Amino acid sequence: MRLLFVTSEIFPLIKTGGLADVSGALPAALATTGLDVQILLPAYRGILAQCDAPRLLGSLQAFHDIRCELYQTTLPGTDIPLLLIDYPALYDREGGPYHHPQHGEWQDNPLRFGLLSKVAAMLSVPNMLQPWLPDLVHCNDWQSGLTPYYLQQLASPAKSLFSIHNLAFQGNFHADWRHRLMLSEQDFQPAGYEFYGHLSFMKAGLYYADALATVSPTYAKEIQTEQFGFGFQGLLQHRTDDLTGILNGIDTQVWDPASDPYLPAHYTSSALANKKLVKQALQAELGLHQDATGPLLGVVSRLTHQKGLDMLADIAHELLASGCQLAVLGSGEPALEQQYLALMRQYPGQVVVTIGYNEPLSHRIMAGTDIFVMPSRFEPCGLNQMYGLRYGTIPLVANTGGLADSVHGGAVMADGTLPETMTGLVMPENNPSTLLVTLRQAVHIYANSGQWQQLQKQAMRQDVSWETSAKHYFELYQDLLDI
Ligand code: ADP
Ligand code: GLC
């Protein structure tokens, strides 16, 4: 089985969130099941220089006015072929993959990701670049949403799977872009790529792909409802038989408390003592008092409405009164950033907020805190709660999407013991007062060091690797190809 995996970000080359982690780990896990995988990514600024000996394969006339070059290399740290689309006018710029350094989204994003989508399809029909042709194209999020459409346009025999990582980001643009992107006029309609008068990349993926997947079983159900469907619930209900939810795994080599190079000391589930040293080092690094009585809570997140961290800020005063500490790393909505910075000023030595993106610090917060807080309003999968499990940093999560599927909640039982299945705390409802109550339950368990250790061990022993999920993808691909 030959698979082309199309993505707009990939760890360790370019990352804004969980999609990069998934793209960096899933293809490698699939390769170990015997799949022949290639990955396709735009050559953003600096990417070619980060890769080993990129080889020019040739060029493709993707649109009337765009001829791009294709390079082949391997994903750093693996031997998986990585194809890079080189078109400097669109990709060689300062800033993020989707955003200008100051002024919001790149105005030509339809063209930038239209090109990604189109090249994926062109590599799936006989071409001058390589004899390798995929049986299946796995597209991820709106940035490759037009690929299934172009596959049809080019009459490619390859099947397509479209994975939803977050339905909130849809790639909806002014309808005029359809001319430049060479989309047929007659398909600009509800039974096509049109969505409320816009050209929608997400809609095209959901409508034209042979099969749909999303990143947890619970999110697969949720997106068929009005509350979580963002306007696509009708289409998703209609395609319910084609939609599968497969929980993400994590890269257990990159995220391993026994060997993580960013940590000052290492530990395992059977030798946990060093976790305390990692905590003390983190407290010292951030300027947190060493003598707190309560647990240290951690947050590493985009600071957006989705993540529900405004609820944590709202109850912070009551929480902090009980002696907890808080370490936050993130960036996003300016008002929320300000709210957290104000908390830091008000509680010196007890709250530390780092605004920005910092990979090494994210590992140290993951390992050095006691409880990892994720009260998301919706969460397609979420990876941090799984990093938390792996690091013995107990996740406290909302009961939604992949959080509900990956954290096994529970409470102290009538006989005073903890359930053996429990690996974290799950909020029964999603509001600030329930968050406070659930946090207090966590603080209560933390105070009993025997029980806390039991919980840490149970969390660390939960399987969060890609192994099981990669098998599910493998089976899904087989179904799609009828083999
Ligand atoms: P999402 O993709 O919705 O942002 P996920 O939980 O799936 O959420 O993945 C987020 C990823 O991005 C995790 O690997 C997390 O550690 C990382 N991350 C988020 N914010 C930061 C930050 N400020 N610094 C470093 N890493 C971050
Ligand atoms: C999206 C989602 C997140 C998920 C990630 C990887 O960014 O918001 O929940 O973990 O994709 O699938």
Strands 351-355 and 243-245: unpaired
Closest alpha carbon to 155 in 131, 126, 180 = 126
Ligand 2 pocket residue status of 374, Cβ below 6 Å: no
pLDDT above 90: residue 349: yes
Ligand 2 pocket residue status of 222, Cβ below 6 Å: no
Q: What is the mean pLDDT of residues 201-226?
A: 98
pLDDT above 90: residue 459: yes
d(CA 55, CA 73): 6
To 10 degrees, the CA torsion angle through 217, 222, 225, 226?
A: -150
Residue 272 binned pLDDT confidence (cut-offs 50, 70, 90) = very high
312: left (phi over 0), alpha (psi -120 to 50) or beta: alpha
Q: Which mutation among 11, 170, 381, 469 tests ligand 2's pocket best, with the greatest number of atoms within 8 A of CB?
A: 381
Residue 128 binned pLDDT confidence (cut-offs 50, 70, 90) = very high
Q: List, as own/partner pairs, every contact residues 175-178 make where C-beta atoms lie below 8 angstroms and the sequence separation is at least 24, other chains included.
A: 175/199, 177/110, 177/111, 177/114
Tell me how far the alpha carbon of residue 301 lies from the centroid of ligand 1, in angstroms.
Answer: 5
Ligand 2 pocket residue status of 24, Cβ below 6 Å: no
Ligand 2 pocket residue status of 165, Cβ below 6 Å: yes
Q: Take atom 7 of ligand 2 and give the residue whose Cα is closest.
A: 18
Per-chain mean pLDDT for the chain: 97
Tell me how far the alpha carbon of residue 360 lies from the centroid of ligand 1, in angstroms.
Answer: 12
Q: What is the pLDDT of residue 166?
A: 98
Residue 103 binned pLDDT confidence (cut-offs 50, 70, 90) = confident
Q: What element of type H or E holds 340? A: helix 334-346
Structure tokens, 396: 């406290």
Residues 407-437 as b/e (b if ≥16 CB within 10 A, e otherwise) read bbbbeeeeeeebeeebbbbbbeebebebbbe
d(CA 321, CA 432): 16
pLDDT above 90: residue 457: yes
pLDDT above 90: residue 469: yes
pLDDT digits (tens, 9 = 90+) for 250-265: 999 999 999 999 999 9
Ligand 1 pocket residue status of 18, Cβ below 6 Å: yes
Tell me how far the alpha carbon of residue 371 lies from the centroid of ligand 2, in angstroms.
Answer: 21
Q: Which mutation among 21, 353, 358 tests ligand 1's pocket best, with the greatest number of atoms within 8 A of CB?
A: 21
Start-to-end C-alpha separation, the chain: 10
Domain 2-249+466-481 has CATH 3.40.50.300: no
Tell me how far the alpha carbon of residue 278 lies from the centroid of ligand 1, in angstroms.
Answer: 21
Closest alpha carbon to 201 in 110, 137, 121, 115 = 110
Ligand 1 pocket residue status of 302, Cβ below 6 Å: yes
Q: What is the mean pLDDT of residues 185-190?
A: 98
Tell me how far the alpha carbon of residue 19 lies from the centroid of ligand 2, in angstroms.
Answer: 6
DSSP string computed for 265-313:
S---SS--THHHHHHHHHHHHHT--S--SSPEEEEEEEESGGGTHHHHH
Atom of ligand 2 nearest to the CA of 215: 12
Q: What is the pLDDT of residue 372?
A: 98
pTM: 0.97
Q: What is the pLDDT of residue 204?
A: 98
d(CA 108, CA 303): 25
**Count H helices, E strands: the chain?**
20, 18
Q: Take atom 18 of ligand 1 and give the residue whose Cα is closest.
A: 301
pLDDT digits (tens, 9 = 90+) for 302-321: 999 999 999 999 999 999 99
- Reduced to 3 states (helix: H, G, I; strand: E, B; else coil), residue 47 is helix
Ligand 1 pocket residue status of 301, Cβ below 6 Å: yes
pLDDT above 90: residue 329: yes
pLDDT above 90: residue 424: yes
Q: Which mutation among 383, 385, 386, 405 tests ligand 2's pocket best, with the greatest number of atoms within 8 A of CB?
A: 383
Burial tier of 181 (Cβ tally within 10 Å: 0-12, 13-18, 19+): buried
pLDDT above 90: residue 97: yes
d(CA 187, CA 172): 15
Starting from the CA of residue 378, give the closest ligand: 2
Structure tokens, 450: 């025997």
Q: Which residues are paired to 160 by β-bridges?
A: 137
pLDDT above 90: residue 102: no
d(CA 476, CA 205): 17
Atom of ligand 1 nearest to the CA of 11: 14
Q: Take atom 9 of ligand 1 and give the residue whose Cα is closest.
A: 18
Q: Which mutation among 19, 141, 163 tests ligand 2's pocket best, with the greatest number of atoms within 8 A of CB?
A: 19
Tell me how far the alpha carbon of residue 381 lies from the centroid of ligand 2, in angstroms.
Answer: 5
Tell me how far the alpha carbon of residue 399 lies from the centroid of ligand 1, in angstroms.
Answer: 19
Q: Take atom 1 of ligand 2 and give the residue whose Cα is closest.
A: 165
Q: What is the mean pLDDT of residues 49-78?
A: 97
Q: Which residues are paired to 126 by β-bridges?
A: none
Tell me the CATH class for 273-460.
alpha beta
- Reduced to 3 states (helix: H, G, I; strand: E, B; else coil), residue 390 is helix
Atom of ligand 1 nearest to the CA of 302: 20
d(CA 320, CA 241): 47
Q: What is the mean pLDDT of residues 454-459?
A: 98
CB 161 within 8 A of CB 139: yes
Tell me how far the alpha carbon of residue 55 lies from the centroid of ligand 2, in angstroms.
Answer: 32
Q: Where in the chain is the domain with CATH 3.40.50.2000?
A: 2-249+466-481, 273-460
Q: Take atom 5 of ligand 2 and give the residue whose Cα is closest.
A: 18
Ligand 2 pocket residue status of 215, Cβ below 6 Å: yes
d(CA 99, CA 441): 40
CB 287 within 8 A of CB 471: no
Closest alpha carbon to 17 in 467, 415, 453, 382 = 382
d(CA 205, CA 429): 32
DSSP string computed for 226-267:
HHHHTT-HHHHHHTGGGEEE------TTTS-TTT-TT-SS--
CB 95 within 8 A of CB 123: no
CB 282 within 8 A of CB 327: yes
